[in-house]
Structure 1
Amino acid sequence: MSEYSWPDAMNLTVKNKVGIGTNNPEAELHVLGKLLGAAQDTSGTALRICCGKTPEGSTNWQPHGSEGIYVDVDTSACGFQSTPIYLVNMHGNDFNWETTGGSSAYERTNQSFRVYVRFPSDRDGRPNLTPDFANSKGWHIQWLAIGN
C-alpha cells in the first residue's frame, strides 16, 4: 500500500493503517470521534453506539429511602434522537456484590437514565448505604447505549 495523506480537514491517512480523525493511526482502522456503525435495527435504521461511566469514587449518588441510593446518568453527549437500549453495570472495589439494582436503568430517555442501588433488607450488620459509603468503595456506573 502506498503512502498517501488526504487533506488535513479529512484526517484520513493510508500506510497499511487507516485513520479517520487522526493523522497517526495505531491500528488497521483507527477512528477518533463519534462513530455511526453499519449495524441496523429491525426497521433498517442505522444504529449509534455510545458508552461512558460515572467518576469512580466521586459519582453523584443521592440518598433514596433508608436502604438505597441512586444516580442520574447524563447521556446527552451521545446525540440520540430516541431512547436507546441501555446496558448498565455497577462497578466498585468492595461490597458491590451485596447490592441489588446496579444493572437496571430506570427513567430512560434519549438523554439520561437513573440507576437505583440498595442492600437487601435481610442483611444484619451491614453498613449504612449512603452516597459517601458508595464513593468510598469506588462504586460507579459503566454503561453502553445503542440506538439512533
Structure 2
Amino acid sequence: MTGSNNHLSLSSYTAIYSPTTTTTVTTTITTVATNSAYYCNGISSFTLWQLYSPNGLFMDIDTTGCRFNSTPLYFTSMAGTSSHWDLAGYTAIYSPTNTSFRIYTRSLNTMNSTEMLSYSQTYIWNVNWFGISY
C-alpha cells in the first residue's frame, strides 16, 4: 500500500486468529541476510497501542534491532484472540525509516478509541510485521 493519505479508510483482510504463541515482550525480531535482499520480522506487543482520537489507535514499531542500512518495505498483519476482524487500516505504513514505522487502525463498526484500546488489551492485538531491503 502506498500513497499520501486515506490509507486508514481501506479494509484489511489479514487478521490472524488464535496464534499458537503468546507474546509478552515488546518486540520479537528475526533477521536473515540473502545475496540480494535482507529481511527482518517481528511481533510488536498489544501493549504498544495508543489512543488516536476520536476513533482509532496507533502504534510506533521499533525496528532498530534489524539494523537495516536503508528504509525497507514494511508489511503488517494483525493477530489476536477475537474482534481484530473489525479493524481496518493497519496494513498502511506511515513514516517508514530504517529504524521504525507507524501504523493506525480504526473500527469498521462503531467502536471509539477508548473501547478499541480496551479490546486491544483484552484480545491481545499483536502486530506481526516484516521488512525487506535490497
| TM-score (normalised: structure 2) | 0.69
Q: How many residues align?
A: 104
Candidates 67, 82, 88, aligned match of 1:100: 88
C-alpha change, 1:34 and 1:88, in structure 2 (3 Å) is closer
The CA distance in 2 between the partners of 1:90 and 1:129, in whole Å, is 17
C-alpha change, 1:119 and 1:34, in structure 2 (3 Å) is closer
Residue number in structure 2 paired with 1:27: none
Instruction: Decide which structure has the larger Cα Rg and report it.
Output: 1
The CA distance in 1 between the partners of 2:61 and 2:41, in whole Å, is 11
Equivalent residues in 2 for 1:1-148, closer than 5 Å: 34-38=31-35, 40=36, 47-55=37-45, 58-120=46-108, 123-124=109-110, 126=111, 128-148=114-134
Runs of 4+ with >6 A deviation: none
C-alpha change, 1:129 and 1:104, in structure 2 (3 Å) is farther
C-alpha change, 1:100 and 1:34, in structure 2 (3 Å) is closer
What RMSD over aligned residues (CA atoms) do the two structures have, in Å?
1.9
Seq. identity, %: 29
Residue number in structure 2 paired with 1:10: none
User: Which has the larger share of helix?
Assistant: 2
Q: Check conservation: 2:31, 2:41, Cα contact below 8 A.
A: no
Structure 2: gaps spanning 5 or more residues: 1-29
- The amino acid that maps onto 1:133 is Y
Higher RCO (CA 8 Å, separation ≥ 6 residues): 2
Q: Which moved more, 1:93-102 or 1:69-78?
A: 93-102
C-alpha change, 1:34 and 1:60, in structure 2 (3 Å) is closer
- The amino acid that maps onto 2:80 is G
